[in-house]
Structure 1
Amino acid sequence: MTSTSCAITDVIFDFCGVVLDWQCRAALEGRYPAELVDRICADDDPCGFFDYEDRMDHGELLAQVLPDVECEQGKELADIFADYIARYDDALPRMIPGMEELLGDLRKAGYGVWGLTNWSSETFHFAFEKFPQLERLLNGTVVSGVEKKFKPNADFYELALQRFGLDAGRCVFFDDTAKNVTGAENVGIRAFRFTDADQARRDLESLGLKF
């Protein structure tokens, strides 16, 4: 590691879209009509799936959200949403290419490697069950649905720093969402918008990390 006083010692990663490939469609295709899957997964979220899942990421439980799904979207879509949550591992088809190697290289080089994710307390376990290598690749993870704090709010980053015993100025954070990158920068963490593992390596090298 570099010897300057502001040398990076720890790297914090978002999960979905950074470490893991998350695809709502992957959990629905082949089980429901293609046109219905297209509607559920449309960018403008006409069926509300992304909004309902966001509520769960913020700490609500399925039992709290599901009545609203049925009231607003009807019983058929409520049943599909419940099925989607029950089989959430199907929405996690793979790790993002190159990320297992990147996290492993950072650990071998002596850097702390951490997770900070907006994710439901009821579905987060699927990540470690489907990809058990995460247990050895990450020193620890803070989950919004458990803590009822979430990105991009400052208190969620600050909780992670306190929980992990980290100095914001010696950390770098990767997220695929711009507002979450800004949220990290607002608490003094250097941060990058994630595009792929190769770019993340270049970003880390630009800060002097050697791994």
Structure 2
Amino acid sequence: MVIKNIIFDFGGVLVDWDPRYYFKDHFNDDEKMNHFLKNVTTEEWNIEQDRGRTLVEGTNFLVTKHPEWEKEIRAFYDNWTTMLRSEISENVAVLRQLKNSNYEIFGLTNWSEETFPFAFENYDFFKLFEGKIVVSGTEKMIKPNPEIWKILLHRYQINAEESIFIDDNFKNIEAAKDLGFICIHIKNETDLAKELRNLGVDF
């Protein structure tokens, strides 16, 4: 099967987002910070905003559950832009090269509908996708739910077998493989350009 499409996750692949970029200075105490991020603003809590729960609803839910952390909880989304540090330059460089090649590029991201517009406006490489981006918060479903990949496939009339999916979350990689996608699991040491060329992508 000929590869025609390259599909990018965003966080951890093209952009560097981490709550520690704000809370490290806020707490000035790594142990307290790590406790807060692990036990209060958990991944499970954050992903519900990516699934479509509003930031206000998510914040108020957590304040009710952990009133002793109210100040820090409310600081989370008030300072969200500080947590979005930079693009991941080596992978964005690959994206730019692919855009100038014969491949179609797409985005499939777990991201709040309320916060994604800030990233879109402040990082010019998002424009390279020409609107071909599926955002979980808009669709009200998140990876690794197979249905969100099906939205991408049906909306843009593409085939999984002709597509490479790139993500830093292993659960998402496994779900995409089950749907027939060729996958690249991004880790700290991953050379994305090399991995793509190993799969026969010419750019």
Specify if TM > 0.5: yes
Residue in 2 that maps onto 1:57: 50
Residue in 2 that maps onto 1:39: 32
Whether the 8 Å CA contact 1:11–1:113 is kept in 2: the answer is yes
Letter in 1 for 2:13: V
Residue in 2 that maps onto 1:68: 61
Letter in 1 for 2:112: S
1:139 Cα offset (Å): 5.2
Residue in 2 that maps onto 1:3: none
Question: Does structure 1 residue 158 correspond to structure 2 residue 150?
Answer: yes
Counting only pairs closer than 5 Å after superposition, residues 76-95 of structure 1 correspond to structure 2 as 77-95=69-87
For residues 49 and 27 of structure 2, what CA distance do their matches in structure 1 show? 26
Look up the SS of the partner of 2:191 in the other structure. Answer: helix
Letter in 2 for 1:33: F
Whether the 8 Å CA contact 1:40–1:49 is kept in 2: the answer is no
1:47 Cα offset (Å): 1.6
TM-score, normalised to structure 2's length? 0.90
Counting only pairs closer than 5 Å after superposition, residues 1-211 of structure 1 correspond to structure 2 as 6-30=1-25, 32-35=26-29, 38-42=31-35, 45-74=38-67, 77-136=69-128, 140-195=132-187, 199-211=191-203
1:153 Cα offset (Å): 1.1
Letter in 2 for 1:67: N
1:42 Cα offset (Å): 4.7
Q: What are the ranges of 5 or more consecutive residues in structure 1 without an aligned counterpart?
A: 1-5
Look up the SS of the partner of 1:174 in the other structure. Answer: strand
Letter in 2 for 1:51: E
Identity of aligned residues (%): 27
Deviation sequence 1:24-73 (CA, Å, 0-9, x none): 1112333x2212x6434459711234332111011111222222211211
TM-score, normalised to structure 1's length? 0.87
Whether the 8 Å CA contact 2:41–2:73 is kept in 1: the answer is no
What is the CA RMSD across the aligned residues, in angstroms?
2.1
Whether the 8 Å CA contact 1:98–1:197 is kept in 2: the answer is no
Deviation sequence 1:111-150 (CA, Å, 0-9, x none): 1111111111111112112212321256521111110111
1:151 Cα offset (Å): 0.7
Which structure has more helix as a fraction of its residues?
Answer: 2
Deviation sequence 1:158-207 (CA, Å, 0-9, x none): 11111222111110001111110011111111112112586221221122
Letter in 2 for 1:60: R
Q: What are the ranges of 5 or more consecutive residues in structure 2 without an aligned counterpart?
A: none
